[in-house]
Structure 1
Amino acid sequence: MARKPGQTPQAMRDRAAKTAAVMATPAGAAQPPKKKTSVAQFAREVRAEARKITWTSRKETWITSIMVAIMVTFAAIFFWVVDFVLRVGVAQLLKLAS
């Protein structure tokens, strides 16, 4: 599996350093007002973020779908068995009571 963008050790260190710098500022310090952005600037930023999206491959999607189907089947069988046992148990208890 290919390494995703931003997962390199250097990128993680850079993010940690940036987070530490932000955390080190005093809590009461006034933040500078945010600059208003134009619609064109917003669209450019959206496109830049959209380029960072990594999609799963067809094989990964297929394997994950099969795993989900198997787990749903196991869960359905488990709950069917539990329901059956409880139904029979309650029926026996009611038969003893009457």
Structure 2
Amino acid sequence: MAKPHFPGRRTGNPAARAKPQLATAAAASTVTVDAPAPKKRTSPGQFISQVQAEARKIVWPSRKETWITSVMVFIMVAIAVVFFWAVDTALGWLSTIILAIGQ
């Protein structure tokens, strides 16, 4: 059975990784970094055509889907309102009882 590949996963001898060794000053000073590749520039005409191509891929919801989604949002808001009202009322009542004990 093949093992799944995960990006950034370390391979090799796990025992060699167990205790990282300190790098010497000479080894640390010889580290090189690859320069990033130059970015390819697009002309304004190509940009406009790419934007139009992406805009053609947009799928807008129908009027019915928008209506159903809006109704569902209002229902969820109403449920949240009732829930938070009930919690607020219960905590207010509880705090009144606790504060009355101290008097």
TM-score by length of 2: 0.62
Q: How many residue pairs end up in the alignment?
A: 71
| 2:68 is the alignment partner of 1:63 | yes
Match of 2:79 in 1: 74
Return 5+ residue gaps in structure 2 as ranges.
1-34
Report the Cα distance in structure 2 between the residues aligned to 1:31 and 1:55, rounded to whole angstroms: 38
Larger gyration radius, structure 1 or structure 2: 2
Instruction: Kindly state the Cα deviation for residue 96 of structure 1 after the two structures are TM-superposed.
Output: 1.2
Superposition RMSD in Å: 1.9
Match of 1:45 in 2: 50
Aligned amino acid, residue 54 of structure 2: E
Report the Cα distance in structure 1 between the residues aligned to 2:36 and 2:101, rounded to whole angstroms: 74
Out of 87, 92, 96, the residue aligned to residue 91 of structure 1 is: 96
Instruction: Kindly state the Cα deviation for residue 71 of structure 1 after the two structures are TM-superposed.
Output: 0.4
Bigger relative contact order, structure 1 or 2 (CA pairs below 8 A, ≥6 apart):
1
Return 5+ residue gaps in structure 1 as ranges.
1-29
Instruction: Kindly state the Cα deviation for residue 35 of structure 1 after the two structures are TM-superposed.
Output: 3.3
Runs of 4+ in 1 over 3 A off after TM superposition: 30-35
